[in-house]
């Protein structure tokens, strides 16, 4: 059975993800491209006696080194292992998308074009003659609609036929002056009988563009001494004709002219349909007066739903893990093994899984907003507001991503081309509360707030964190990151109805990552925390308390009090208690006890562990009665409201988890910025938590 290796290429927002889902029953493997943190997706499936291996390359407007995504795409297309290129084109914006197609055709590779979103194009009055376009470009152009899964069979047939036939020579015809120089160079190589695996026309175009890799190749060859004068002569002719010495710009003008010509010959526009649904919706959602209130209302609604709907299955999950703990202890008896499994593993993992419904709801809401194209509008709306705080409009992309997870948020900062803007955005991304912090907020808010106000408070926490980030950005902009702002330019994709498959894929990936953490890292951390909170043992103290308990054996209240006193003594003098007491002077002005201090410290590994740690620590040493069965009730009994408020503020701001901080170090460019971030976030968290504790103590004392 033959294997066809496909490089999936397209500009951003052309529907590549939809097309992948349309293939159906695909096996998706997600990793990173070698040497960079850009996500790499490989899809494998079998169809019509062929094995397909599709590498989804990052969305790129052109094959340049301008952004890391474009560099990755260019390098893969130049040196990667693939048989043909599948170029996905947005039919509603055909001319702009064909700019990239023209570059792909100059690579001397087999190419198939998927004219995607044909249904939308027709509704907007864009009628593409795919047969005529195929003749003009010399490749197969297949109309498709990934959303409605039409044209997929025809596309697969075109891919297999292109794979099985010999590659055709590129017959794109550039302008006379440019074509003349191409002919000169190709004729020179032919006369010299130059042997190369690259098509001579492709080679000539790369030389006329001063392609870095091709130049490096020729500088080490003997033919370079004769080739260089010929190239200099060609450059001079182009300079004179185009009245510029920007060779790359000259090529892009040629490429754009080819795209315009192809559109003129093969596409018709019904101008009566030009004002589409997108424009009508934008008149409301991007309105200068109504746009921002609508955005805030949508965010408020999302957090209301996150708390209200998420609380429904929480009781079931809590009851399930409570029954597991009781059942384990009943089955294994009063043993160390029963305690480590029940009080350590099950209690710690259960405390984290308890908040899975909230995580799923929040991620679903964000995925829906992204899939519809609304997030780009939100960036446009907030651009002017962001500039007041020294941020670039495109900073919105990583900052909003930060509400999901800080790891992709730090990576998303690459959309900012200016190093200063990118670093500033990286430093404040942690102020956006990631999904891992949500369980901490839900736990504290659920413990101290009335249910009818919980959603509003959760929304306020997120907005407050974002506002603190903006204030921090302004402070950093005035000190460490001085400089002029760059103008804001961002693509506005058309509004589209999100598909179930696309949203399910986005949410399920994040939910599975969350569960994977709970079943591996957090499980190990919970067991470690249990061990550190149960050892060392103090047999002499145990014997002393047992003697006291025997003396008051008839008084149940005194027996319970002595048992609790013994448990608390063991806990405070355990390894974990020693760590907590050692760091307590740092946290004491914030109203934190040693258990809260330990929870925050374990959160440096992963923020989900904060809740797991509190589940273990507050599940020990307290009265075991009906009134304190849940973690929230135990917190109410041990933590004051001002301390709880300060705890949320500190957890909101302090240093990101280990995985995120390592990505930050890589994206920021070294350990120096990593250390600066630790100092900056720790100091900001402590100062703001102290202020919150002081004010809350005055108000609620």
Q: pLDDT tens across 114-165, in order?
A: 999 888 888 888 889 999 999 888 899 999 988 788 899 999 999 999 999 8
Whether residues 107 and 232 fall in one domain? no
C-alpha 222/C-alpha 202 separation (Å) is 20
Q: Identify which of 12, 103, 118, 108 has the alpha carbon closest to the alpha carbon of residue 56.
A: 12
- Does the pLDDT value for residue 301 go beyond 80? yes
Whether residues 266 and 350 fall in one domain? no
pLDDT reported for residue 666? 76
pLDDT reported for residue 629? 44
Output the domain CATH number for residue 229: 1.10.287
Whether residues 411 and 321 fall in one domain? yes
Does the residue 13 lie in any domain?
yes
Whether residues 188 and 321 fall in one domain? no
Q: Tell me which of 13-17, 70-74, 201-205, 659-663 is least confident.
A: 659-663
Which position has the higher pLDDT, 325 or 619? Answer: 325
Residues shown for the chain: 701
Whether residues 145 and 228 fall in one domain? no
| Domain stops at, among 97, 130, 164 | 164
Kindly give the residue spans of alpha helices, DSSP state H, lying in 28-117: 68-79, 94-105
Q: What confidence category does residue 26 fall into, taking pLDDT thresholds of 50, 70 and 90?
A: low
Whether residues 236 and 204 fall in one domain? yes
Question: What domain range is 33 assigned to?
Answer: 2-164
CB 486 within 8 A of CB 8: no
C-alpha 599/C-alpha 622 separation (Å) is 17
Does the residue 567 lie in any domain?
no
Does the residue 562 lie in any domain?
no
pLDDT reported for residue 485? 57
Q: What confidence category does residue 178 fall into, taking pLDDT thresholds of 50, 70 and 90?
A: confident
Phi-psi region of 590 (alpha: psi -120 to 50; beta: other; left: phi over 0): alpha
Does the residue 444 lie in any domain?
yes
Q: pLDDT tens across 525-536, in order?
A: 778 877 877 788
- Does the pLDDT value for residue 675 go beyond 50? yes
Number of CB atoms found within 10 A of residue 537's CB: 12
Q: pLDDT tens across 476-486, in order?
A: 888 877 765 55
53: phi then psi, degrees, rounded to nearest 5 = -130, 105
Please state whether the peptide bond connecting residue 56 to the residue before it is cis, i.e. omega within 30 degrees of 0: no
Whether residues 267 and 346 fall in one domain? no
pLDDT reported for residue 228? 87
Helix (H) or strand (E) holding 373: none
Whether residues 301 and 266 fall in one domain? no
Does the residue 613 lie in any domain?
yes
Whether residues 156 and 180 fall in one domain? no
- Does the pLDDT value for residue 515 go beyond 50? yes
Does the residue 33 lie in any domain?
yes
Question: What is the total count of domains within the chain?
Answer: 3
**Mean pLDDT, rounded, of the chain:** 81
Q: What confidence category does residue 89 fall into, taking pLDDT thresholds of 50, 70 and 90?
A: very high
Whether residues 156 and 182 fall in one domain? no
Does the residue 417 lie in any domain?
yes
Could you give the angle at the alpha carbon of 66 between the alpha carbons of 65 and 69, nearest 5°?
A: 75
pLDDT reported for residue 505? 73
Does the residue 558 lie in any domain?
no
pLDDT reported for residue 495? 75
Q: What confidence category does residue 514 fall into, taking pLDDT thresholds of 50, 70 and 90?
A: low
pLDDT reported for residue 622? 38
Which position has the higher pLDDT, 683 or 519? Answer: 683
Output the domain CATH number for residue 114: 3.40.50.300
Whether residues 260 and 353 fall in one domain? no
C-alpha 535/C-alpha 530 separation (Å) is 9
Whether residues 311 and 370 fall in one domain? yes
Q: Which residue has the tokens 């990631």?
A: 434
C-alpha 386/C-alpha 401 separation (Å) is 16
């Amino acid at each position: 059975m033959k294997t066809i290796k496909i490089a999936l290429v397209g500009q951003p927002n052309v529907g590549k993800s939809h097309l992948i889902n349309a293939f159906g029953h695909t096996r998706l493997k997600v990793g990173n491209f070698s040497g960079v943190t850009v996500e790499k997706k490989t899809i494998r499936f079998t169809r019509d006696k062929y094995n397909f291996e599709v590498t989804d390359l990052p969305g790129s407007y052109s094959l340049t080194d301008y952004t890391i995504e474009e560099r990755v795409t260019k390098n893969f297309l130049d040196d990667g292992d693939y048989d043909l290129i599948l170029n996905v084109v947005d039919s509603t914006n055909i001319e702009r998308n064909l700019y990239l197609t023209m570059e792909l055709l100059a690579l001397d590779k087999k190419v198939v074009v998927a004219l995607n979103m044909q249904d939308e194009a027709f509704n907007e009055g864009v009628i593409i003659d795919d047969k005529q376009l195929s003749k003009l470009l010399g490749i197969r152009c297949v109309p498709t609609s990934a959303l409605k899964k039409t044209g997929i069979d025809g596309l697969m047939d075109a891919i297999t036929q292109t794979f099985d036939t010999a590659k055709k020579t590129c017959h794109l015809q550039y302008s006379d002056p440019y074509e003349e120089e191409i002919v000169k160079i190709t004729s020179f190589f032919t006369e010299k009988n130059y042997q190369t695996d690259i098509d001579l026309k492709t080679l000539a175009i790369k030389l006329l563009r001063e392609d870095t890799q091709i130049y490096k190749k020729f500088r080490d060859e003997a033919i370079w001494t004769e080739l260089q004068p010929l190239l200099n002569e060609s450059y001079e002719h182009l300079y004179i004709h185009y009245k510029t010495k920007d060779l790359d710009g000259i090529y892009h003008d040629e490429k754009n002219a080819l795209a315009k010509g192809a559109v003129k010959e093969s596409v018709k526009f019904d101008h009566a349909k030009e004002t589409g649904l997108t424009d009508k919706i934008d008149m409301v959602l991007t309105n200068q007066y109504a746009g921002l209130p609508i955005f805030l209302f949508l965010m408020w609604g999302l957090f209301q739903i996150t708390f209200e709907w998420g609380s429904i299955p929480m009781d079931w999950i809590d009851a399930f893990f409570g029954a597991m703990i009781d059942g384990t202890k009943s089955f294994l008896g009063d043993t160390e093994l029963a305690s480590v499994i029940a009080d350590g593993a099950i209690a710690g993992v259960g405390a984290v899984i308890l908040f899975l419904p909230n995580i799923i709801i929040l991620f679903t809401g964000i995925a829906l907003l992204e899939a519809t194209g609304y997030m780009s509008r939100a960036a446009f709306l907030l651009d002017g507001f962001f500039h007041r705080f020294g941020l670039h409009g495109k900073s919105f992309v990583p900052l909003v991503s930060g509400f999901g997870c800080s790891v992709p948020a730090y990576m998303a900062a690459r959309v900012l081309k200016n190093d200063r803007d990118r670093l500033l955005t990286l430093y404040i991304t942690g102020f956006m509360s990631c999904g891992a912090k949500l369980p901490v907020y839900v736990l504290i808010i659920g413990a101290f707030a009335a249910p009818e106000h919980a959603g509003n408070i959760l929304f306020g926490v997120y907005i407050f964190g974002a506002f603190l980030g903006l204030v921090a950005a302004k402070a950093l902009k005035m000190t460490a990151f001085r400089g002029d702002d760059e103008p804001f330019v961002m693509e506005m994709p058309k509004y589209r109805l999100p598909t179930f498959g696309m949203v399910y894929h986005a949410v399920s990936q994040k939910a599975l990552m969350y569960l994977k953490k709970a079943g591996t890292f957090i499980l190990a951390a919970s067991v470690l925390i249990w061990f550190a909170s149960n050892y060392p043992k103090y047999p002499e103290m145990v014997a002393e308390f047992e003697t006291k308990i025997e003396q008051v054996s008839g008084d149940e209240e005194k027996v319970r009090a002595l048992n609790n006193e013994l448990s608390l003594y063991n806990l405070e003098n355990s390894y974990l208690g020693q760590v907590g007491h050692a760091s307590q002077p740092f946290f004491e002005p914030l109203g934190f006890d040693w258990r809260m201090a330990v929870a925050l410290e374990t959160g440096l590994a992963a923020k989900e562990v904060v809740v797991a740690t509190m589940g273990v620590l507050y599940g020990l040493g307290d009265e075991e009665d009906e009134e304190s069965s849940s973690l929230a009730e135990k917190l109410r009994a041990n933590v004051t409201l001002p301390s709880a408020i300060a705890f949320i503020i500190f957890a909101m701001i302090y240093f990101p988890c280990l995985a995120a901080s390592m990505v930050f170090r890589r994206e920021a460019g070294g350990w120096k910025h990593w250390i600066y971030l630790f100092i900056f976030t720790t100091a900001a968290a402590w100062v703001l938590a102290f202020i919150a504790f002081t004010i809350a103590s005055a108000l609620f004392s």
